[in-house]
């Protein structure tokens, strides 16, 4: 979702409400910023469609669903390469019949489409949050379902039993089938598991209050643990990047361990922005080709490349020595894309990348803990994730 690499997704809404994703809450999250950029929806406007129908707030039908209109849309969407469809009709939390009818029509006319309805994913009041959550769910569902099915098949073939269960964002568990149907509930599953582990280690060490810090390949996340239990909320935002401001991300209405997320990780790409300043993330090198130092064809510098050049990683003992790193490739990438444009040496450019990421995460930690009534200076930091321990001390 952060990199916007999910399915080509369309949104069907009640006639007159196709712009709810961009209108959002009609709130400026930074009042005095004249250059403010609102969160970019996962569905562009040309793929959002009005459907003649109307259900009132008490669940009564004011205008029946135009079934022929939905059928025509189904064929048109397939012809234009749409892979997934979210359906979010007004007041469907009170009466889901129209959404269910529309979904049935789409599945019959275009069986290959992934279809999600808001009354199934997030049957709650508030149109914007419900639409955003439904879109997010179907946007990643094909990828998540394919991955989870492969995971289940491979564990079964390896003789691993019983069937795997999947961690959810609030710390609970689900079957593979349930997780594949509602992948939006897994968005923070990794950090949730890490936060539970951090709470357990903290309790064993006598710390009931602490800060759990996870840094992976694409994002970094922080979570406050109070009295031995990670805080839980019922809504959060994905890809919140503007000074950690509420409202600058995409809202998702699911139970989740309360944490803050920023778009920097070990694979985040470093570059100079339009103002000629150093910037890191949210774009990531991913696992293929990965950082330049992996030697798999990556040519752009990442946080991992900078960490290697600064000596935080041992090139001969990465993954226990199973994967040698290539400092020369990392140096070339950092010099070409950061050092030369900014007039810096390779070491200074690498240090700039490393410290910028550290400050971004430290700032996130200060905001997140203070908003929850905690003093960040008094909280032990438990780090995990592929890059967490590398950056924890520097934050």
Q: Which positions ≥6 away from 285 have C-beta within 8 Å?
A: 267, 268, 269, 291, 298, 300, 302
> Is the model's pLDDT at 101 over the cut of 90?
yes
Write out pLDDT tens, residues 281-306.
Answer: 878 888 788 899 999 998 999 999 99
Q: Which residue has the tokens 């070990």?
A: 266
Q: Give the Cα separation of 251 and 274 in Å (integer).
A: 28
pLDDT-derived band at 184 (thresholds 50, 70, 90) equals very high
When pLDDT is averaged across residues 58-69 and rounded to a whole number, the result is 96
When pLDDT is averaged across residues 86-107 and rounded to a whole number, the result is 96
Write out pLDDT tens, residues 359-370.
Answer: 988 888 888 888
Q: Give the Cα separation of 130 and 313 in Å (integer).
A: 43
Please report the pLDDT score of residue 262 as a whole number: 79
Write out pLDDT tens, residues 191-200.
Answer: 888 889 999 9
Question: CB of 248 within 8 A of CB of 241?
Answer: yes
> Is the model's pLDDT at 261 over the cut of 80?
no
Write out pLDDT tens, residues 216-242.
Answer: 888 888 889 988 889 888 888 887 766
Q: Which residue has the tokens 């598991």?
A: 193
Please report the pLDDT score of residue 244 as a whole number: 57
97-101, 332-336, 342-346, 388-392: which range is least confident on average? 388-392
DSSP string, 338-350: IIHHHT--HHHHH
Write out pLDDT tens, residues 123-157.
Answer: 999 999 999 999 999 999 999 999 999 999 999 99
Helix or strand holding residue 172 (H, E): none
Q: Which of 218, 180, 12, 185 lies closest to 100 in space, CA to CA?
A: 12
Write out pLDDT tens, residues 1-50.
Answer: 878 889 999 999 999 999 999 888 888 888 887 878 788 899 999 999 99
pLDDT-derived band at 243 (thresholds 50, 70, 90) equals low
Q: Percent of the chain beyond pLDDT 90?
A: 64
Predicted TM-score of the model (pTM):
0.74
Q: Show the CA angle centred on residue 55, arms to residues 54 and 57, nearest 5°.
A: 135
Question: CB of 199 within 8 A of CB of 212?
Answer: yes
Work out the number of other CB atoms within 10 angstroms of the CB of residue 205.
10
Give me the chain's average pLDDT, please. Answer: 91
343: tokens are 């007039």
3-state secondary structure of 312: coil
> Is the model's pLDDT at 187 over the cut of 80?
yes
């Amino acid at each position: 979702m952060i990199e916007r690499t999910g399915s080509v997704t369309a949104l069907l809404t009640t006639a007159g409400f196709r712009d709810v994703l961009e209108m959002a809450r009609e709130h400026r999250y930074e009042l005095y910023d004249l250059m403010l950029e609102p969160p970019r929806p996962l569905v562009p406007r040309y793929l959002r469609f009005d459907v003649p129908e109307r259900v009132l707030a008490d669940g009564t039908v004011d205008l029946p669903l135009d079934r022929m209109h939905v059928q025509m849309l189904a064929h048109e969407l397939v012809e234009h390469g749409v892979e997934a469809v979210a359906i979010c009709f007004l007041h469907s939390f009170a009466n889901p019949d129209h959404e269910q009818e529309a979904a049935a029509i789409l599945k019959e006319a275009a069986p290959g489409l992934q279809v999600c309805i808001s009354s199934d994913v997030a049957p709650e009041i508030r149109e914007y949050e419900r639409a955003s959550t439904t879109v997010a769910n179907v946007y990643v569902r094909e990828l998540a379902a394919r991955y989870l099915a492969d995971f289940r098949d491979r564990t079964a073939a390896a003789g691993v039993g019983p069937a795997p269960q999947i961690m959810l964002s609030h710390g609970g568990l689900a079957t593979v089938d349930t997780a594949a149907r509602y992948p939006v509930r897994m968005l923070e599953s990794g950090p949730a598991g890490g936060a539970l582990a951090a709470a357990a280690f903290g309790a064993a060490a006598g710390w009931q209050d602490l800060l759990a810090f996870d840094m992976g390949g694409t994002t970094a996340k922080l979570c406050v643990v109070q009295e031995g239990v990670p805080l839980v909320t019922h809504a959060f935002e994905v890809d919140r990047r503007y000074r950690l401001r509420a409202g600058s991300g995409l809202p998702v209405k699911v139970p989740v361990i309360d944490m803050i997320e920023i778009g920097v990780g070990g694979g985040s790409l470093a570059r100079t922005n339009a103002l000629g300043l150093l910037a890191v993330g949210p774009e990531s090198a991913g696992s293929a080709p990965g950082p330049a130092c992996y030697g798999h064809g990556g040519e752009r510098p990442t946080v991992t490349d900078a960490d290697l050049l600064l000596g935080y990683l041992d090139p001969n003992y990465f993954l226990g020595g199973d994967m040698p790193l290539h400092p020369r490739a990392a140096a070339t990438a950092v010099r070409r894309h950061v050092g030369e444009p900014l007039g810096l040496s390779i070491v200074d450019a690498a240090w700039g990348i490393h410290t910028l990421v550290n400050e971004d995460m430290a700032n996130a930690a200060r905001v997140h803990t203070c908003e929850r009534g905690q003093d960040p200076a008094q909280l032990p930091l438990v780090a995990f994730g592929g890059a967490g321990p590398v950056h924890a001390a520097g934050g």
